[in-house]
Structures are given as structure tokens and as C-alpha cells.
């Protein structure tokens, strides 16, 4: 059976987070806070990383480190346990002498204390032979990848773009770029590992316990049931903890070496800039041909990005342009350069974030070129069907979001001309951008329900709550699907001993896990009725949710006010508003926080986030939170979110769509559009730092 829509009782209410007390007291236990679960004091691991960008390790001289009190061993490529499979070079840690980027793991120090491990790492001498390295996207050779992240086609071509472009009365051709951005969850990537009796136990800071087990096990040459991964609390991830990275393998190998003794590894904040993924720089070349009334006739989004020679990652930057606006001819492409740099990965809304930044600033450029109000311009380019597939949309409510936001924000009072308002020393302007994110659904999730005494139920799925509120929201879904109160549910999550769950990522978690829970609850009732005997159980796995020939996406409209100092160029954002259509909101409190968090990260990207690379070695030199700026409390002023009353039962039986990522989409564009409106200076590159406006 597949799941059917069901009645919302707890869904739609602001049930308190079930883990709030643990979090506000600090008693929640994160990845290296499980000493109480260990029967022996753990060893402390510290990573030693390469200082050349390309080449090989000649020799690791550990003599001084080993002589340091409490240092137990130094593992390098000559003495670390061997892996059965080394094809994935990011994860094949300490398996050979090759250096693929500066910051790569070349040794691991194990010690009785963290102080000794850290000092030991400082004392390890790594003799390296440097080879020529290519570390900059500028001028680098690029290639057309086979596909982009998410399995998307790398290039598409509909209609006759060249002819439509040539014939267009209005032609806009511009380049937009986003810099290297780093997820920087507050909890550094970390894990506690225990290798005992040929099995590995990991307490990991991961968004996918089953994903870690299924990736590491074959590389370690053991069956997946010999790898247990638990992640009860995760201090944020935003994608960087979606896939395992080198440090997880490093601690697994260290534990294998220590055989029987647990090992703890916390990656330092500095090392996270080389070892745990990031958003690549993106350069988007857009050509938009339009009629004088603003209707787009030709749209081309050619995205150039950067990947790593160690492992390919292609940010799907041009993908949102395929469905966002009506254009009879539409061409998109991706090219990347494989550089000798750290491996990029997922960061909140890969593709949509940089792609919609480019497209939505371009729409503001087009509004300016045609003299049409930015909201009206977007309305005129609303597609009747999904431009990519030709399928009808279900619930495409972008225009309603724009109108509702315009009312709330006071858009009608906006001067049409830029550089129209000077308030003291501050130029004031407003801007808007659209947001979108697909309704993602991952099949293959399994949930188990067991009847307990006293009308209670145990609901289990290996899903991870990376901090968003899944533990609370899944409880609400389970309760409604079973037709009981949330208090009657014992929910177990985040352990590979529980049924298989896909990653908390791509805004797919609640949709995919919730559907598995709903399907299992409905099957449970069919099997066991309303008054089951304690002990009876049902387990089901989703193949999918009834397929639809509709295009399923969430939409939103982001409005920003920007103030730019006329002398210093400092940018402030006193107001930011997002109005969204995301299907049913299962928990208004956690959803609001998640959307506000997305807006905050978008504001952070708009004004601050930029990683500076050393041009010789390609590593990030702004590798901490003092030099890689993220939004602090005083940067965030009046933030508001609202959503349309929505239920989308074509997307999921809960009527919901994912909300984890849409909040960051379009936000940076809205802010830069507002800053341009304030100053008359068009900015097409993130971030909009003061120097851009003060020249």
C-alpha cells in the first residue's frame, strides 16, 4: 500500500519541542559528549594536514611527537589500517602518499589527553614534495560534466535560443557571481568511534546515520550490519554533515588501530575550511531577451563553477532557471574546473541559492531596463505550465506570495527610481526577489510501529533531527497518522539499529520520513485494528507516494529594505520579510524558526560571507569565525515570515512540502536589489561589502 492523506489534529499546531529542556540546559549530548556511554576513557585524536596543494608525502617524521608525554601513536599512510576500497579519494584517508589539496589529512595523532594530541600534531613533521597545482577558477580550464548535483542534466536546450535572442528588442547580458561559502554549523564535525570485535560503533555528527554506515562499511571491508551509527543530537549541518567526509574515516581508522579503545575526534574550526565541504564559487552568465513589455522570449543561464580534482561536485546553479519563468526558448549549462582544492559539497539549497541569486538580480536588471515594476515583471512571466516538463503546476502560488508580501511590506510606497531617498547619511531602498524549491521526496524509507501497553505506541525510524525540529514534527505526524495524542507515542530516531532512513537534506526529510510513518501507521491499523494487542508490530518501506503528472515546487517572495551609508558604504538591513507557499506547515513554531534561520543565512551571504583563498595553495586563509564573517545578533533586525494557508496532498500525505532550504533562496538577491535601489549602484557579486558602494 502507499500512504493516504490523513486528518490533521496535532499537525498545524505549535507543539513544544520535545527536546527543549535538554537543549537550554546543555544536557543534550552531541557527538563527542558520550563518555558516559563508554566503558573506557577514550583516546583523543588530532588531525595533521598537508601544507602543499598537490604532490606527495615523502615522509612523516613522528619522532618528536611520539616523545611527547601522553602521545600514544601517530598514524600516517604507511601504518594506518588499510581500506578495502579507495576509489573515493576524499574518504580514502591515509591510504597512499598522494596530496590532492592543501589541508588534506596526512597524519592522525592519538593521545591520552586532548592537550597532548594537539601538541603532538604540532610536533609531527611532514616532508612533502610539491607538484604544480591549479587552484584558481580564474583562467582555469573547464569541462562539461555528465550531470550536476542531485542527478540533474548538466545542460538543457529548448526552443531556438539563438534566434530568439537575436530577435529580442530588449537584451540583457550580465554576469553574476557567488563566492566560496562555508556551512559553519556551530558544532564542529566530530565523532566518537569504538572498534570492538570487528564492529564499528560511531557517535557521529551527521545528517544521515544510514548514509554514513552504507558509505564507510564497504570501504572498511566489513558488512554494513557491523557499523552502528548514532546521532542523537546534531549541532547544525546545513548540508555539510549530509555526506561523510574525511574526518569520519580518520576516526574510524584510528578506532580500528586502537582496537577496543574508543577514540574521539573533533575537527577544529580551522580544519573545517578544508575537510568538511563548502559551496563552490559560482559564476553565472545570463542572457535574457525580452519584449518591451518585459515578457521573456529567450533565457540562457550558463553556470561556471569549481570542483575538486580529488572528487567531483557540480553545484546545480542553472537548474532553477529551467522552471522559474516562462520563456519559449531556454538554454542552461554547467561547466566546472577540477582544481587542486578541498572537496566541495552540499550547502543549504545547493543550486537554488546561487542560481536564484543570479536570476533574481537579473530580473531586477530587466525591470530596470524595461521600466516595469519588479513584481509586475515577475507576474508577466508566470508560466502556465512547468517550462521544463510541460506538466501543470500544482499549487504554484508565487504571485500570491508576491502580492501578500507587497501588502505587508508597504511596496506601493516605493519610489520607482533608484537613489531617491536619503535619510540622514543613509541611502534607503527596497527590493524583492522570488524564491523556489522543489518538493523533494526520497523513497526507500522504512518505519516500524509497535503497540505498547496502555494504548501507547513505539514509532521508530533512523531519521536524524539535525536541529530543525524533526523529533517534534515526526511525533505530530505519527500521532495524527495513528489517530492518537502525541503523548501516546515513544519516538526513536537517529540510530542505524532502527529502520532505514534517508538523509536530512534537500528539504526532503519530513516529507520522506513522514510518509513512511504515515504509510506504516495506516498498514498497522489495517493489520491490527484500533485496539491492538501489546507487542504487535508493523514495518513498511516506501516505494514512493502516488505519482502525479504535476510539477511540485514551493514558492516564496522575499522583501528587503537596505540602508547604505553614503560615505562608508556600510549596508544595513532593517527589514526582511519572507512570504511562502510550502504546503501544510506541520508545526508553526519550528517552521517559523527554520524559515527565519534561512532568511538570516541569506542575509549573512548577502553582506558578509566570503572565503579568501591563498592564490598559491588554494586553501582558505579566512578560516575562522573572526575572519569568515557570519551574521551576528546585531546584524539581524526586523525579520518576519508568513505563509499562505496551504495543503498539498499531491506532494505528501501530510499535505506538507519541505521548508529547510527555501528561506535562503532569493534572500541575498532581495537585499542586493534593495541596496541597488537605495544607491543606484548595481551589485551582481556576493557579498555586498562596503567597498562596493563607497568608491
- The stretch among 248-256, 299-307, 467-475, 546-554 that binds another protein (CB under 8 A) is 467-475
In angstroms, give the least distance from the CB of 14 to another protein. Answer: 9
In angstroms, give the least distance from the CB of 648 to another protein. Answer: 24
Closest by alpha carbon to 325, among 388, 386, 382? 382
Between 422 and 461, how does the x/- string for binding to another protein read (CB under 8 A)?
Answer: ----------------------------------------
Decide: helix, strand or coil at residue 130: strand
Our finding on whether 236 is near another protein (CB under 8 A) is: yes
Residues 244-273 that bind another protein (CB under 8 A): 266, 268-269
Q: How far apart are CA 314 and CA 337, in angstroms?
A: 10
In angstroms, give the least distance from the CB of 205 to another protein. Answer: 9
Residue 613's Cβ-count burial label (10 Å; 0-12, 13-18, 19+) is buried
Distance of CA 474 to the CA centre of its chain: 20
Our finding on whether 122 is near another protein (CB under 8 A) is: no
How do beta strands 457-460 and 489-492 pair?
parallel
**Which residue stretches of 207-351 are H helix?**
209-220, 246-258, 272-275
87 counts as catalytic: no
Of 367 and 630, nearer to another protein (C-beta) is 630
Determine contact, residues 230/498, Cβ cutoff 8 Å: no
By CB under 8 A, name the one of 53, 124, 327, 466 that touches another protein.
466
Determine contact, residues 260/181, Cβ cutoff 8 Å: no
- Which DSSP letter does residue 635 get? G
Of 190 and 449, nearer to another protein (C-beta) is 190
Our finding on whether 633 is near another protein (CB under 8 A) is: yes
Our finding on whether 1 is near another protein (CB under 8 A) is: no
Q: How far apart are CA 647 and CA 644, in angstroms?
A: 10
Our finding on whether 537 is near another protein (CB under 8 A) is: no
In angstroms, give the least distance from the CB of 265 to another protein. Answer: 13
Our finding on whether 687 is near another protein (CB under 8 A) is: no
**Which residue stretches of 554-642 are H helix?**
588-607
Determine contact, residues 558/576, Cβ cutoff 8 Å: yes
In angstroms, give the least distance from the CB of 582 to another protein. Answer: 17
Of 24 and 167, nearer to another protein (C-beta) is 24
Our finding on whether 600 is near another protein (CB under 8 A) is: yes
- The stretch among 17-25, 98-106, 277-285, 520-528 that binds another protein (CB under 8 A) is 17-25
Give the CA angle between residues 667, 673, 674 to the nearest 5°: 90
Of 267 and 319, nearer to another protein (C-beta) is 267
**Which residue stretches of 192-271 are H helix?**
209-220, 246-258
For residue 419 the three cell numbers come to 537613489
Q: How far apart are CA 44 and CA 524, in angstroms?
A: 46
Of 238 and 313, nearer to another protein (C-beta) is 238
551 forms bridges with which residues in the sheet?
393
Q: Which phi and psi angles does 546 have, rounded to 5°?
A: -40, 125
Of 149 and 468, nearer to another protein (C-beta) is 468
Of 15 and 298, nearer to another protein (C-beta) is 15
By the criterion CB under 8 A, which residues form the site for another protein? 16-17, 19-30, 33, 35-36, 113-116, 119, 183-188, 233-236, 238, 266, 268-269, 466-469, 589-590, 592-594, 596-601, 604, 624-626, 630-634, 636-637, 639
Residues tagged active-site: 661
Amino acid at each position: 500500500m502507499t500512504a493516504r492523506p490523513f486528518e490533521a489534529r496535532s499537525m498545524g499546531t505549535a507543539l513544544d519541542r520535545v527536546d527543549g529542556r535538554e537543549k537550554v540546559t546543555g544536557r543534550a549530548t552531541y557527538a563527542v559528549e558520550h563518555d558516559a556511554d563508554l566503558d573506557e576513557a577514550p583516546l583523543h585524536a588530532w588531525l595533521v594536514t598537508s601544507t602543499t596543494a598537490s604532490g606527495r608525502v615523502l615522509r612523516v617524521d613522528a619522532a618528536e611527537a611520539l616523545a611527547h608525554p601522553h602521545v600514544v601513536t601517530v598514524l600516517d599512510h604507511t601504518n594506518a589500517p588499510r581500506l578495502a576500497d579507495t576509489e573515493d579519494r576524499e574518504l580514502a584517508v591515509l591510504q597512499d602518499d598522494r596530496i590532492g589539496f592543501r589541508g588534506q589529512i596526512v597524519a592522525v595523532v592519538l593521545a591520552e589527553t586532548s592537550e597532548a594530541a594537539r601538541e603532538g600534531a604540532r610536533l609531527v613533521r611532514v616532508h612533502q614534495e610539491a607538484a604544480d597545482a591549479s587552484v584558481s577558477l580564474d583562467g582555469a580550464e573547464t569541462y562539461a560534466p555528465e550531470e550536476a548535483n542531485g542527478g540533474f542534466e548538466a545542460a538543457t536546450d529548448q526552443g531556438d535560443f539563438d534566434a530568439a535572442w537575436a530577435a529580442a528588442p530588449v537584451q540583457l547580458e550580465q554576469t553574476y557571481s557567488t563566492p566560496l561559502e562555508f556551512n559553519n554549523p556551530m558544532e564542529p564535525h566530530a565523532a566518537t568511534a569504538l572498534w570492538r570485535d570487528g564492529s564499528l560503533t560511531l557517535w557521529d555528527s551527521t545528517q544521515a546515520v544510514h548514509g554514513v554506515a552504507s558509505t564507510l562499511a564497504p570501504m572498511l571491508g566489513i558488512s554494513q550490519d557491523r557499523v552502528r551509527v548514532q546521532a542523537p543530537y546534531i549541532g547544525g549541518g546545513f548540508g555539510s554533515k549530509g555526506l561523510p567526509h574525511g574526518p569520519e574515516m580518520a576516526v574510524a581508522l584510528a578506532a580500528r588501530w586502537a582496537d577496543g579503545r574508543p577514540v574521539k575526534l573533533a575537527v577544529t574550526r580551522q580544519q573545517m575550511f578544508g575537510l568538511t565541504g563548502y559551496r563552490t564559487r559560482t559564476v553565472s552568465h545570463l542572457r535574457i531577451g525580452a519584449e518591451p513589455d518585459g515578457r521573456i522570449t529567450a533565457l540562457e543561464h550558463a553556470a561556471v563553477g569549481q570542483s575538486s580534482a580529488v572528487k567531483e561536485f557540480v553545484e546545480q546553479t542553472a537548474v532553477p532557471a529551467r522552471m522559474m519563468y516562462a520563456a519559449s526558448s531556454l538554454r542552461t549549462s554547467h561547466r566546472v574546473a577540477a582544481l587542486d582544492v578541498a572537496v566541495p559539497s552540499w550547502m543549504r539549497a545547493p543550486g537554488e541559492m546561487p542560481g536564484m541569486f543570479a536570476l533574481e538580480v537579473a530580473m531586477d536588471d530587466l525591470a530596470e531596463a524595461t521600466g516595469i515594476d519588479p513584481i509586475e515583471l515577475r507576474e508577466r512571466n508566470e508560466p502556465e505550465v512547468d517550462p521544463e516538463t510541460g506538466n501543470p503546476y500544482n499549487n504554484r502560488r508565487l504571485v500570491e506570495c508576491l502580492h501578500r508580501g507587497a501588502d505587508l511590506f508597504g511596496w506601493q510606497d516605493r519610489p520607482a527610481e533608484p537613489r531617491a531617498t536619503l535619510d540622514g547619511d543613509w541611502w534607503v531602498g527596497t527590493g524583492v526577489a522570488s524564491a523556489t524549491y522543489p518538493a523533494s521526496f526520497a523513497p526507500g524509507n522504512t518505519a516500524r510501529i509497535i503497540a505498547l501497553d496502555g494504548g501507547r505506541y513505539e514509532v521508530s525510524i533512523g531519521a536524524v533531527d539535525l536541529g530543525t525540529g524533526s523529533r517534534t514534527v515526526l511525533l505530530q505526524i505519527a500521532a495524527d497518522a495513528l489517530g492518537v495524542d502525541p503523548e501516546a507515542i515513544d519516538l526513536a530516531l537517529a540510530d542505524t539499529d532502527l529502520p532505514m532512513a534517508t538523509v536530512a537534506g534537500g528539504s526532503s526529510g519530513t516529507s520522506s520520513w513522514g510518509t513512511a510513518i504515515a504509510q506504516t501507521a495506516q498498514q498497522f491499523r489495517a493489520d491490527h485494528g484500533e485496539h491492538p494487542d501489546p507487542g504487535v508490530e508493523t514495518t513498511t518501506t516506501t516505494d514512493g507516494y502516488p505519482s502525479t503528472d504535476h510539477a511540485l515546487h514551493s514558492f516564496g517572495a522575499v522583501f528587503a529594505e537596505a540602508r547604505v551609508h553614503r560615505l562608508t558604504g556600510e549596508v544595513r538591513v532593517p527589514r526582511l520579510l519572507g512570504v511562502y507557499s510550502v504546503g501544510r506547515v506541520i508545526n508553526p513554531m519550528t517552521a517559523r524558526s527554520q524559515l527565519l534561520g534561512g532568511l538570516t543565512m541569506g542575509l549573512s551571504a548577502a553582506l558578509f560571507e566570503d572565503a579568501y583563498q591563498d592564490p598559491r595553495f588554494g586553501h582558505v586563509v579566512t578560516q575562522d569565525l573572526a575572519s569568515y564573517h557570519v551574521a551576528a545578533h546585531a546584524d539581524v533586525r526586523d525579520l518576519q515570515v508568513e505563509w499562505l494557508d496551504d495543503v498539498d496532498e499531491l506532494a505528501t500525505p501530510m499535505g506538507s512540502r519541505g521548508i529547510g532550504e527555501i528561506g535562503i533562496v532569493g534572500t541575498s538577491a532581495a537585499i542586493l536589489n534593495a541596496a541597488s535601489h537605495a544607491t543606484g549602484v548595481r551589485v551582481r557579486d556576493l557579498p555586498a561589502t562596503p567597498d562596493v558602494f563607497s568608491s
